[in-house]
């Protein structure tokens, strides 16, 4: 039996993790985050595919790809959370569970960050827990998929 595929999509500027505002986003790099996700997924019996893009259209294309190939999706849309109706629309047609993750607590930051269009299309939202938020999102997806299987 093939392990269910979870796509992990990271949006703009997350390629700068470790050097961009470490007081807000931590000192870990994107490579370290992807390693944590891969190790967590393996322990849960999931397969994983991590991608990062600074381009909205590319993220939307990957969401559409997930529709046909993934059992679940984790997305950190970063700045697109607060601006992208197009990304929300792409996520809205998915028939798989979607977990939105933010490293920082967006509700403790600037007022414009308090609203996320993406949240309207997400099964759940995790924010403010740093890298641990991704681990928790993978655990949540594993639980959701197990429940759907029963």
Catalogue the active-site residues: 25, 102
3-state secondary structure of 117: coil
CA 107 – CA 89 distance, rounded (Å): 23
Burial classification of residue 140, based on how many CB atoms lie within 10 Å of its CB (0-12 exposed, 13-18 middle, 19 or more buried): middle
CA 134 – CA 102 distance, rounded (Å): 9
- Residue 98 near residue 122 (C-beta atoms within 8 A): yes
Nearest to 104 by CA among 20, 25, 23, 6: 25
DSSP bridge pairs for 102 = 127
Residue length of the chain: 150
């Amino acid at each position: 039996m093939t392990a269910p595929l979870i796509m992990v999509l990271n949006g703009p500027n997350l390629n700068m993790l470790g050097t961009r505002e470490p007081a807000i986003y931590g000192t870990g790099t994107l490579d370290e985050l992807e390693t944590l996700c891969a190790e967590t997924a393996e322990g849960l019996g999931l397969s994983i595919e991590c991608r990062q893009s600074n381009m909205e259209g590319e993220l939307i294309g990957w969401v559409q790809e997930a529709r046909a190939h993934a059992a679940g999706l984790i997305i950190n849309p970063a700045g697109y959370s607060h601006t992208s109706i197009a990304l929300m629309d792409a996520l809205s047609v998915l028939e798989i569970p979607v977990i939105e993750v933010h490293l920082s607590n967006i509700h403790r930051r600037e007022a414009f960050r308090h609203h996320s269009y993406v949240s309207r299309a997400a099964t759940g939202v995790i924010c403010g827990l740093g890298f641990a938020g991704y681990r928790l999102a993978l655990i949540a997806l594993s639980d959701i998929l197990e429940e759907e299987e029963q």
